[in-house]
Amino acid sequence: MEKNMLLRKLPSVHNMASLLAEMDKFNAFSDRQLTLAAQEAVEGLRKDIQSNAFVLSGTSIEAEVINRATSYLQSRGRLRKVINAAGVVIHTNLGRSRLGKRAIKAVIESANNYTNLEYDIEKGTRGSRHSHPEDLIKKLTGAEAAMVVNNNAAAVYLILSALAKGRETIVSRGELVEIGGSFRISSIMEESGAVLREVGTTNKTHLFDYEQTLNENTSMIMKVHTSNFKITGFTKSVPSSELVKLSREQNVILYEDLGSGALFPFSSKNIGDEVPVKDVIQSGVDIVSFSGDKLLGGPQAGIIAGKKEYISILKKHQLARVLRIDKLSLAALCGTLESYLYKEFDDIPTVKDIIASEDELKLRAEQFIVKMNPALKPYIIPGHSQVGGGTMPDVKLPSFLIAFCHPDGAEYTAESLRKNDIPVIVRIQEDVCLIDLRTVNEEEETVIINALKNM
The SS3 of residue 340 is helix
Better-scored residue on pLDDT, 189 or 205: 205
Residue from 220, 229, 239, 232 nearest 260 by CA: 229
Helix (H) or strand (E) holding 404: strand 396-404
The pLDDT of residue 55:
75
pLDDT tens-digit readout, 396-427: 999 999 999 888 899 999 999 998 888 999 99
Better-scored residue on pLDDT, 59 or 60: 60
The full 3-state SS of 344-378, as one line of letters, equals CHHHCHHHHHHCCCHHHHHHHHHHHHCCCCHHHCC
Residues 6+ apart with CB under 8 A from 70: 25, 37, 421
Cα separation of the two ends of the chain: 33
Better-scored residue on pLDDT, 103 or 189: 103
Give the Å distances, CA to CA, from 17 to 24, 28, 45, 77, 178. 13, 14, 15, 20, 49
The pLDDT of residue 228:
57
pLDDT tens-digit readout, 80-103: 899 999 999 999 999 999 999 999
The pLDDT of residue 164:
94
The pLDDT of residue 24:
83
Residues 6+ apart with CB under 8 A from 419: none
Candidate ranges 73-77, 206-210, 419-423; pick with highest mean pLDDT:
206-210
Averaged pLDDT for residues 143-153: 96
With a cut of 80, say whether residue 202 has pLDDT above it.
no
With a cut of 60, say whether residue 181 has pLDDT above it.
no
Residue from 119, 104, 20 nearest 62 by CA: 20
Residue from 288, 273, 313 nearest 222 by CA: 288
Q: Give the pLDDT band (50/70/90) at residue 357.
A: very high
The pLDDT of residue 120:
92
Quote the mean pLDDT of the chain.
91
Q: Give the pLDDT band (50/70/90) at residue 233.
A: low
The SS3 of residue 10 is coil
With a cut of 80, say whether residue 444 has pLDDT above it.
yes
In 10 A of CB 324, how many CB atoms?
17
The pLDDT of residue 419:
84
Asked if residue 293 lies in contact with residue 322, where contact means CB atoms within 8 angstroms, the answer is: no
How large a percentage of the chain has pLDDT more than 70? 96
Alpha carbon distance 294, 95 (integer Å): 10
Better-scored residue on pLDDT, 49 or 299: 299
Q: How many CA atoms lie within 13 Å of 235's alpha carbon, on the beta-carbon side?
A: 13
The pLDDT of residue 182:
57
The pLDDT of residue 311:
97
The pLDDT of residue 9:
87
With a cut of 90, say whether residue 370 has pLDDT above it.
yes
The pLDDT of residue 204:
87
**Exposed / middle / buried, residue 389 (Cβ in 10 Å: 0-12, 13-18, 19+):** buried
Q: Give the pLDDT band (50/70/90) at residue 190.
A: confident
The pLDDT of residue 227:
59
pLDDT tens-digit readout, 308-333: 999 999 999 999 999 999 999 999 99
Averaged pLDDT for residues 353-374: 95
The pLDDT of residue 231:
61
Residue from 136, 137, 173, 174 nearest 155 by CA: 137
Averaged pLDDT for residues 269-286: 94
The pLDDT of residue 166:
93
